[in-house]
Structure 1
Amino acid sequence: MTLNSLFRNATAAAALLVAAATQAANDKVVIYNWSEYVPEGVLEEFTEETGIEVEYNTYESNEVMYSKIKIQNAKGYDVIVPSSYYISKMAREGLLAKLDHSKLPNMDHLYGTLLDKPYDPGNQYSLPYTWGSTGIGINTDDIDKNSITGWKDLWDSKWENSLLLTDDVREVFQMALAVQGHSANTRDPQEIKQAFELLKKLMPNVLTFNSDAPREPYMAGDVSLGMIWNGEVIMAQEEMPEIQYIYPKEGVILWVDSFAIPANAENKDAAHKFINFMMRPDIAVRTVEYTGYATANKTAIRQLDPETRGNPTIFPTWEVINRGEFQEDVGDEATALFNQYWEELKAGM
């Protein structure tokens, strides 16, 4: 065999190895998502239909997800599910890839009212998956539901060492800002400081922070009052209907969790296929039934049973929505201030 023949054979072998490696990568999608956020069996169905293997990882907060994506230079995951204000923050920092809408035909099923929002004009970087709220959870066997009407009630000294707060800096500060009549999206250092001072007065009442599964301390009897996500109440009520949800009179905390693709994801094509699959109406119906959160999928809403579709804990009234406020990116300076005060709050407990 001539030297040229050996070289050609070696080159061909190398090309085959590269092609095989590329194919292996294309046969896998790596997801980084909130826990208990995809219905049972859905990932397996996606693999069966597409031949694409799913590696599924979970996080407990936007802060944890963001830090990991930033440290890894937007590599390591193909699909992530940030909350609304993190979409704008991560896009601004170059951590998200632009979506190819031509590969996402199922976005036609999405409500226009949840598209083209200020945190992502034109949905260049994200598409809404679920939306929900953070309000007040209460065990009505222990506490009269009519005695709690708003966030301000949590500051009553009779709740000393008994409340649950979500482990989320922006949500906790939004609660205090709402009590003071300020916007959740303030950048005013003085208003942020005022919220901090108010929260310091609340800390003696706080027993625990939880953003993994906030329903569990309620169900275990460790707490009977505090912050909680609406979907966690729906899940808890399967076993304990006495756990109820209250929309605080000062305004509920509203959020949208959206699919996005990290800027340096290895398999963007598989990521688009996964996102499109999850936007199928039948999958969206199962997602509402499993998570207890509202869907952005208008076709799926029409397919829900009347009881689920009419459940105000899942689908709040327009009056409640209009009184609440969605979180937005407040910029690096205000974010740093929120985080500074947050660490001081938790350190002082």
Structure 2
Amino acid sequence: MKLNLISLAVATLSMIGVSAHAQDNTLRLLTWGGYAPKEVVEQFTKETGIKVEVTNSNNEEMISKLRATGGAGFDLAQPSQDRITGPQAEFKIYKPMDLTKVQAAQFIPSMLEATKKNTSLDGKVYGLPHIWGTDGLVVNTKLSKATDYPDLCAPENAGKVSMRLKRPTLIAMAFASGKDPFALYGNPKAYGALMDEMGQKLIACKKNVKFFWDGKDQLLAGLRSGELTTAMMWDTGGWELNRANPDMKFIAPKSGALGWVDTFAIPAKGRNDAAAYAWINFNMRPDIAAKVASSAGNFTASQGADQKMDATIKQQFAASFPEAALKNIKWYPAVPAGLEDIEGRVLDRVKAAP
């Protein structure tokens, strides 16, 4: 009997060891669609022996998932840079980056420094740049002459436009109204008043909206069919449509495209930091970054990856962003705690309005 108990204990410990080893060889990645293409995941596993479990998500869901678990369940997440310090201050869902484990020379220096600054809290850095891009207008130039966000609400586009009921739409409308919403981030009362004003504009605009889009497939199908002539959306979606129909163009609005940077951030209770840093350094290699960029359709923060990008994407980018438009991009700063609650209440009123 004693021998059997000893054998059982040894077997149990062995199983625990195997389970722990399996966890050590797995990276649980919370990311956006297209950011972890199969080819890249397979190459990473071949080179490192680390398996990758990919969960596709978006900013709101990432924060929700990590908040619900206190930062557990994933080893690496990819929120946008403006969604790090606010949630971190409120919910403590990330751990500081160990910059000694990052191959900094692989990053575009200016983007690395800007992102470190925008994701710093109490002197600690919580995010590093990965993919960047913009939101603006996608226009069927045969059917619409839209050049700025208010054109979504113009009478000639009635019933033929789409946008999201999300904070970028409020921000875009504010810039198009001659206001700087980012300058009010430190004044919740003034910011709330501006958002209320933009909410009223969106309510008045609802008659123009064919549908508020939630998913990529719905939006692209509407534009391809001609059901929509104009939409507020991301640049790569516009370039995808343009490759099939030259009349479809991504336009940087007169009041400025909205610029975002998606990051690498390590959840507070991640189990495998070593795998997370291995994935970061692997993804910043120019050859790998170019593959990811081709999958995502956006440019990356990898130094030299743009030289390996698809020539068509480079041409489309140049057409959408002449120098003046590039300088006019409104880059999202970090969102202070509490501001998204203000926006959420405004968006709820817009949704409920007839």
For residues 20-46 of structure 1, the C-alpha deviation after alignment (integer angstroms, 9 at most, x for no partner) is 221010121122222233344111221
Matched AA of 2:245 = M
**Corresponding residue number in structure 1 for 2:118:** 119
Residue range with higher mean Cα deviation, 68-77 or 252-261: 68-77
Q: Partner residue of 2:60?
A: 63
Cα 1:31–1:305 change in 2 (3 A) is closer
Summarize the Cα distance change of 1:333–1:10 in structure 2 as closer, same or farther, 3 Å threshold.
Answer: same
In the superposition, the TM-score normalised over structure 2's length comes to: 0.87
Helix, strand or coil for the counterpart of 1:284?
helix
The reply on whether 1:198 has 2:198 as its aligned counterpart is no
Q: Which amino acid aligns with 1:347?
A: A
- Show the counterpart of 2:173: 176
Aligned amino acid, residue 207 of structure 2: P
- Which residue in 1 is equivalent to 2:50? 52
1:115-171 deviation digits (Å, cap 9, x = unpaired): 23342148822111111100000112333xxx322112222122222211134x221
Q: Does 1:130 align with 2:131?
A: yes
Query: Given the superposition, is the C-alpha separation of residues 199 and 86 from structure 1 closer, same or farther in structure 2, using an over 3 Å criterion?
Result: same
Q: Given residue 125 of structure 2, which amino acid in structure 1 is its aligned partner?
A: Q
Higher helix share: 2
Q: Tell me the amino acid that sits aligned with residue 289 of structure 2.
A: A
Q: Residues 22-37 of structure 1 correspond to what in structure 2 (within 5 A)?
A: 22-37=20-35
**Cα gap change, 1:101 to 1:12, in 2 (>3 Å):** farther
**Does 1:263 find its partner at 2:260?**
no
Indicate the residue corresponding to 1:237 in structure 2: 242
Q: Distance in 2 between matches of 1:212 and 1:115?
A: 30
Look up the equivalent residue of 2:194 and give its one-letter code.
E
The equivalent residue for 1:162 is 160
CA drift at 1:101: 2.6
Q: Are 1:98 and 1:124, in contact at CA under 8 Å, matched by a contact in 2?
A: yes
| Cα-Cα RMSD | 2.5
Query: Retained in 1: the 8 A contact 2:40–2:292?
Result: no
- Structure 1 gaps, min length 5: none
Shift of 1:309: 3.7
Q: 1:271 to 1:211 in 2, by over 3 A?
A: farther
Secondary structure at 1:129's aligned position in 2?
strand
What is the Cα deviation at residue 176 of structure 1?
Answer: 1.2
Q: Any conservation in 2 of the 1:252–1:324 contact (CA below 8 Å)?
A: yes
Q: Please tell me whether the aligned partners of residues 133 and 252 of structure 1 are also in contact (alpha carbons under 8 angstroms).
A: yes
Give the distance between the partners of 1:151 and 1:302, measured in 2 at CA: 32
In structure 1, how many angstroms separate the alpha carbons of the residues matched to 2:221 and 2:84?
29
Comparing 171-180 and 235-244, the one that deviates more: 235-244
Three-state SS of the structure 1 residue aligned to 2:84 is helix
Q: Is 1:88 the equivalent of 2:103? A: no
Maintained 8 Å contact 1:78/1:262: yes
Shift of 1:14: 4.5
Corresponding residue to 1:219 among 213, 219, 224? 224
Alpha-carbon distance in 2 for matches of 1:123, 1:240: 46
SS of residue paired to 2:87: helix
- The code of the aligned residue for 1:120 comes to T
Q: Distance in 2 between matches of 1:112 and 1:317?
A: 23
**Does structure 2 retain, via aligned residues, the 8 Å contact 1:245–1:313?**
no
Greater shift in the superposed pair: 291-300 or 251-260 = 291-300
1:312 maps onto 2:312 in alignment: no
Residue 162 of structure 2 aligns to a residue whose secondary structure is strand
Q: Which of 246, 250, 258 is the matching residue for 2:251? A: 246
Report the Cα offset of residue 84 of structure 1.
1.6
Cross-structure match for 1:150: 148
Q: Which residue of structure 1 aligns with residue 295 of structure 2?
A: 290
Partners of 1:225 and 1:313 lie apart in 2 by 21
Shift of residue 210, structure 1, vs aligned partner: 2.4
| Pairwise CA distance, 1:339 | 0.6
Alpha carbons 1:292, 1:314 under 8 Å: kept: no
Retained in 2: the 8 A contact 1:235–1:291? no
**Matching residue's letter, 1:193:** D
- TM-score w.r.t. length of structure 1: 0.88
Identity score, percent:
24
Query: For structure 2, which runs of at least 5 residues remain unmatched after alignment?
Result: none
Amino acid at match of 2:239: I
* AA in 2 matched with 1:316: F
Q: Distance in 2 between matches of 1:315 and 1:50?
A: 39
